[in-house]
Structure 1
């Protein structure tokens, strides 16, 4: 195999995801100084601090730190369902599209999709999707996603959340939130986090996306649910030992990250408008937070061409390109990237 000796292009801007950010100096200092213990035994003080702080912010009794949002979502599904049941979710939901069939593999359940224009399901469709017949798989839970990644980082209105809660209560099924980017939703709605999370039985929050932590997500719920979740986390291989070094960086992200999200959203609008003005197919109505989808034939070919000039994006499918803004794309980087993308 021949190894290329050609220099790689300087990366002007990395829009592949908001997970690509590197730890800030403040995070690295916190990691170096973190108090640690064995978290499988519940003895890591920094992880406990993170779990308690996020639980307070979101209005829950308890939280449980895990390596990824996929794990927090799938532990929630395991908590709420029994084998052979269905999970009602909006079309395009991350728990189906990007979690590798884990709901079937681990929990033995299957999805039932409802339409979701711009990522927002009609609560009445959620109600109609509930199954109780002996001839069909019964409904185990309802899961919503806020913001909705595949729809373009779109935000679920508060009235939809309230109506979904009413449906779940009346139908006697638990309601889970995949809140990977729920802080983006709170900033876009200009409300405290609790105004979103209060409608749900469990909530998954990623700290490694827009908030900028290097690793980690937290599942939130009742103390009893988190005790059971601890077992499922261990079953999935998510028991981390002296992981307070990761929680220390996540605490910095939790305390400092939300204040930066409005700037990410502003820059996303700048990039979206520049792409539209250059003739790209972007649904501006879907550009509500920090994600842009562009409809583009031969998407991978175009992404490769941009990468050769130092601008990184993700080809998702043969005709779709995703751009995700984050705090390590500043105004100068954005301007340089736009020059490449619109040349």
Structure 2
């Protein structure tokens, strides 16, 4: 049996989730007539304290739609160099919105208002116009690091002062909420748009929701259509999202505990140089020379453990809904016995 720790996207719907999916009431969502999709969008918006929501097939799409509807060509976006929108969305900022990117290098991807302010451009015809600040919480390439609420609030004040749009890529926001013991409703008033993913830690098979003001979401609905994201009887998928929001959020702490245990084991391995602090469900190990991610992961695969390379010397493991205590024990044994 293979233990898959490549990502928290590998989870399968639980039996209870499958049951609500098959019993979902559906309609044509492009016409706005799928009652289950409408219920999911309303639930997510109310949960985060925003006016409206838009169900989309992926977090890449919700991020790209948010950027498209809140920028103009030749605008510039500020984000950390580790950001998903910069590294893992196929150059979508350039392709979809014709914008440039100004990269910040913040410790573990947690940008401060001081760092961001240093990257805000004065208005000049020679420069792109700074238009949008994007944060990611948690930070994937930062090892699942979480933003302090005070820093998010300071960034909001900075955006207000410079009349900038403020977007949150919340692909793993629920992990941050649980780790920081925060309520979702505090996030809505902070951001112009929020992308939340249902198919990572929450365990739904597909989907993300873009949250924001009603006029922003109305424009986003048009862009979703342009991007090919309009789905028809999408209520079967939305039902899984509703179930995930109502039942799978609190259990994320179990993933965090297992991730910390995994990190502790890796710190004891002679072939590991360092393990980034484990804040949520992501574990990043930096390997000792002469070990390489490719070889280490190939050897772990022979023992039935899957991870991903995450840099020249780093490997990543992500705990999730389908990773049990028994899986943890087997993984720890394989790690200790690897070399």
TM-score range, shorter chain: over 0.9
Asked whether the 8 Å contact 2:266–2:275 carries over to 1, the reply is no
Which stretch shows the higher mean deviation, 122-131 or 42-51? 122-131
Asked whether the 8 Å contact 1:282–1:292 carries over to 2, the reply is no
Offset of 1:270 from its aligned partner? Answer: 0.4
1:65 aligns with 2:55: yes
Q: Which of 116, 127, 138 is the aligned partner of 2:117?
A: 127
What aligned pairs does 1:172-321 form with structure 2 within 5 A after superposition? 172-279=163-270, 280-285=272-277, 287-296=278-287, 297-321=291-315
Distance 2:69 2:138 in 1: 22
Asked whether the 8 Å contact 1:142–1:174 carries over to 2, the reply is yes
Q: Counterpart of 1:141?
A: 132
Offset of 1:115 from its aligned partner? Answer: 1.9
Q: Counterpart of 1:93?
A: 83
What's the TM-score once normalised by structure 2's chain length? 0.96
Q: Which of 147, 157, 162 is the aligned partner of 1:166?
A: 157
Label 1:277 to 1:172 Cα distance change in 2 as closer, same or farther (>3 A): same
Offset of 1:284 from its aligned partner? Answer: 3.9
Q: Deviations over 1:161-183 (max 9, x none)?
A: 00000000010011000000111
Distance 2:35 2:105 in 1: 43
Distance 1:106 1:282 in 2: 38
Distance 1:300 1:38 in 2: 46
1:336 aligns with 2:327: no
**Segments ≥4 residues shifted beyond 6 Å:** none
Q: Counterpart of 1:4?
A: none
Counterpart secondary structure, 1:19: helix
Q: Counterpart of 2:100?
A: 110
Distance 1:262 1:298 in 2: 31
Q: Show structure 2 runs of 5+ residues with no match.
A: none
Distance 2:336 2:40 in 1: 42
Offset of 1:198 from its aligned partner? Answer: 2.8
Q: Counterpart of 2:22?
A: 32
Offset of 1:316 from its aligned partner? Answer: 2.5
RMSD after superposition: 1.0
What's the TM-score once normalised by structure 1's chain length? 0.95
Q: Deviations over 1:79-121 (max 9, x none)?
A: 1110011100112100001011001001101110112102211
